[in-house]
Amino acid sequence: MSYFREEPFGPQRDNLHAGMVAAMIYNANRGKRQRPLSAPDFMLMTERQRMERNTKRAISAVKVMAEPKRKRKKNRDGD
């Protein structure tokens, strides 16, 4: 267990490595208006994990929309 804490290995680590490679390839070829993705976006997940991730993203988006307009950073269109 001590060695695993220092040098993780196994399917979870392999999944992370595959996600890193996929994110790098995606981001190198994405369009200008597409958001960059990270390794977790490409990692295998259970349906429950996927739902939790999507819920967190939705909550974050609602919080941003609920902020007063003066606090939000201006986007590229100058809104």
| pLDDT tens-digit readout, 32-56 | 999 999 998 898 888 998 899 899 9
pLDDT at 70: 64
Taking residues 3-32, report their average pLDDT.
90
Question: Residue 45: which domain range?
Answer: 2-69
The span from the first CA to the last CA of the chain, in angstroms, equals 52
DSSP 8-state symbol, 77: T
Is 79 within the bounds of a domain?
no
Residue 74, sorted as left (phi over 0), alpha (psi -120 to 50) or beta, turns out to be: beta
Whole-angstrom CA distances from 13 to 24, 27, 48, 51, 76 are 17, 21, 20, 22, 37
Better-predicted residue by pLDDT, 28 or 1: 28
Number of domains forming the structure of the chain: 1
Better-predicted residue by pLDDT, 57 or 77: 57
Is 31 within the bounds of a domain?
yes
pLDDT at 38: 93
Is 75 within the bounds of a domain?
no
pLDDT at 12: 83
